[in-house]
Amino acid sequence: MGYKIGLDLGSTAIKMVLVKNNEIAWSRKVPTAPGQEALALELVKGAVSECGLKESDIDQIAATGYGKKLMSAAGHTVDEISANAQGLHWLSEGRCRTIINIGGQDLKVINLNENGRIADFKMNDKCAAGTGRFFEQAARILDTPLESFGEMSKLADEPLELNSTCVVFAESEIVSLLAKGVPKERIIKGLHHSVARRITHLLGNRNTPKSGDIYLDGGPSQNPGLLEALEDELLMEVKVLPNPQFTVAFGATLSLN
Amino acid sequence: MNNTQQDDREGRIKKKIFDRFEDETAQEIKNLKSRPDFSPELEYFVDLLAAGRDPATISERTGRPVVALMCLQAPLELFHVFGLQPFKIFGGAMVSQRLSAPQLPAIMCPMLRSALGELQLDLAGQKGQRFLAWVAPTTCDWVVKIQDMMEVCGIKEKPPFHRLELPHMKDRDESQERWLEEVYLLKNFLSQLTGQKKIKRQALANSMSLYQKSWHVFSKLIDLKRIGLVPELWFMVISNSFFFDDVEKWTTAVEKALLTFKTKNESPDIFLAGSPIFFPNLKMLHLLEEAGLNVSMDDLCSSERIFPGAVYFDDVSEHGLLKALAQRYHQGCLCPTFADNDRRINNIIAPAHKDLFKGVVFHVLKGCHPFDLESLTLESRLKDQGLKFIKLETDYTSEDSQTLLTRLEAYRSALTN
């Protein structure tokens, strides 16, 4: 008894957390595919089974993300911006004032007030530039696993100046650079900086917190190369919590309170 | 491909887009008529929009030849006194852009791109009657260049085209004098067009009185909207249909409709600002409703701004009446193409301080540069005063509905915190 489930049905991955007393007891993600509700229910079954629970131990399910309305088993839905705000406010113990969230297909900057409520937010327009999809595409063109980006980025002295964060144009630019023999490390470092600049523009001076901390979350926040580039562009410290891709799903469970 | 084959291909493309255009319109009509708050009093407005916007249909309904009007700064009373029906050109259908887009810049006002596509369908030609003339106040760049764009799109409308040079510094006396000259030039143009050498002063006063009454009734509808009784969707349907019928008939229908709105919307009130919204593209209004936000005020030129406000006059000479019209249509206009447009921003900030709404939703159509630019000043001034603001950029497509809804839902959370 007393367990809650938070499901974040995103554009590229479905993330789930099992929570008891506002602590994450179990978490997992699977790639988004047709039949999102069935995939999410599989995750729920997996959590129940692996944690030795019965389905009746689950009190409530909250869904968030683009696919939240597909989840008929969820008794409660919340928009992902509010869920993100609540999740990070709790997990940062109230220190967070700005969230930079990099999702599969969007970028968000969320400003919080001292109570963890949304003070303001900005999102990119309908373009995958600088999002998780952009990194996936770059990894494919570079024939390099995304997990290696952080380490490879550190090997480059100077980032290469990349002109485009557009998924389509960046592809031709990267192909052209590879053809010229530019080392992958420099290209990757350049990619991190170009995305960091895009985030900095979205953040703007107005949204830069005057107090409190900036946190980066979403899948790409696990890339230390991107974090370093972002701190370099912002000239500010940016924090990342453990398991940053589950913040939104966790925040959804807090909205049940 | 020879010329016959090319003509045949173009004909088939137009037919295909026309069919989809009809489907898109029919779908929105169905949406409106299936709403639980649809009532017989609203049927008149929905049917006007459904019946089409070609000059033959409107002329038959109003008994007046129809003049196409690009923007709202030209005094409508002048058209009326010359026995003409002004019709504001707009494009609301997403699908009609497909015809015009290949000839036009990639980033341009989607509303006009849609309007141009619709003109390419040549509904007017099919019904055997074109607009008697075109009148275009020089507002934004897209409107200034509309005649050129019509030409490159191969639009068959070739009636007389009259531009009114709009002074963009409206608070200068010189601008007022200049605009009065333009109103006189419009009068001369309409005189030549209709062959009426003179207008009777009393007839002009009567036309002004009709529009004054219409504005008065419309103001009552606005008052009901302010207290949450009129959903913005219905408000938009009513105001969008303004040019489709004789002003007296439309006013009578609005008067009847006032009685139909009885249920108060308890959702958080917002001010909707920015680019205009036209039937059948009511996407943004559906999304606002879905997100649980109620529009209690707006400053859209397709909605609350279809009238410039009440026209007052002391001097009852023809010159006095024309001067009163010129002043009201120029100074009362809040179009962002004006350089000195602080009044528009103050009109949003002042009621915010009186708690008449909780936040501003700024709707920008991609390529609508004047509104986009003005949103920056507004955002800065509102946020400096601790007021909530969100800008939503969109175009004539439904694919961004989910991301827009996410933002609106989060905005609602921010407003209710």
Q: B146-186, pLDDT tens digit by residue?
A: 999 999 999 987 889 999 999 999 889 999 999 999 999 99
DSSP B314: S
Of A35-39, A103-107, B405-409, the range with the lowest mean pLDDT is A103-107
Is A66 contained in some domain? yes
Provide mean pLDDT across the span A65-73: 90
Residue A70 has pLDDT above 70, yes or no: yes
Indicate if A161 and A205 belong to the same structural domain: yes
Residue B1 has pLDDT above 80, yes or no: no
Chain A residues in contact with B393 by the CB 8 A cut-off are 125
pLDDT above 90 coverage of chain B, percent: 84
* Domain span at A41: 3-82+248-254
Ordered DSSP codes for B332-398: T---TTSS--HHHHHHHHHHHHTTS-SEEEEEEETT-HHHHHHHHHHHHHHHHTT-EEEEEEE-S-S
Q: How far apart are CA B92 and CA B411, in angstroms?
A: 26
Indicate if A121 and A49 belong to the same structural domain: no
8 A C-beta contact, residue A70 and residue A10: no
Q: How far apart are CA B66 and CA B161, in angstroms?
A: 13
Chain B residues in contact with A86 by the CB 8 A cut-off are none
Indicate yes or no: CB of B409 within 8 angstroms of CB of A119.
no
Indicate if A74 and A102 belong to the same structural domain: no
Q: What is the SS3 assignment for A121?
A: strand
8 A C-beta contact, residue A13 and residue A246: no
Q: How far apart are CA B173 and CA B175, in angstroms?
A: 5
How much is the pLDDT for B211? Answer: 97
8 A C-beta contact, residue A17 and residue A3: no
Residue B417 has pLDDT above 80, yes or no: no
Indicate if A127 and A67 belong to the same structural domain: no
Is A14 contained in some domain? yes
Q: A67: domain CATH number?
A: 3.30.420.40
Beta-ladder partners of B137: B164
Is A87 contained in some domain? no
Indicate if A152 and A70 belong to the same structural domain: no
Indicate if A57 and A23 belong to the same structural domain: yes
Q: CB neighbours of B225 closer than 8 A, spacing ≥ 6?
A: B232, B235, B295, B296, B297
Is A89 contained in some domain? no
Angstroms from A106 CA to nearest CA on chain B: 9
Provide mean pLDDT across the span B61-83: 97
Furthest CA-CA distance within chain A: 61
8 A C-beta contact, residue B402 and residue B410: no
For A151-200, the pLDDT digits (tens) are 999 998 887 887 766 667 778 888 888 999 999 999 999 999 988 988 88
Indicate if A99 and A27 belong to the same structural domain: no
8 A C-beta contact, residue B343 and residue B332: no
Indicate if A146 and A29 belong to the same structural domain: no
For B339-371, the pLDDT digits (tens) are 988 888 999 999 988 889 999 999 999 999 999
Mutation target to probe the B interface, by most B beta carbons within 10 A, among A9, A70, A121, A248 is A121
Indicate if A70 and A26 belong to the same structural domain: yes
How much is the pLDDT for A126? Answer: 66
Indicate if A73 and A101 belong to the same structural domain: no
Q: How far apart are CA A175 and CA B230, in angstroms?
A: 56
Q: How far apart are CA A211 and CA B336, in angstroms?
A: 36
Is A88 contained in some domain? no
In this structure, what are the phi and psi dihedrals at residue A109, rounded to the nearest 5 degrees? -120, 120
For B248-265, the pLDDT digits (tens) are 999 999 999 999 999 999
Count of domains forming chain A: 2
Asked if the ipTM is above 0.90, the reply is: no
Indicate if A107 and A221 belong to the same structural domain: yes
For A96-145, the pLDDT digits (tens) are 999 999 988 889 999 999 899 999 999 887 677 778 888 888 899 999 99
Indicate if A118 and A192 belong to the same structural domain: yes
Chain A residues in contact with B411 by the CB 8 A cut-off are 121
Is A72 contained in some domain? yes
pLDDT top residue among B189 and A200:
B189
Output the average pLDDT for chain B: 94
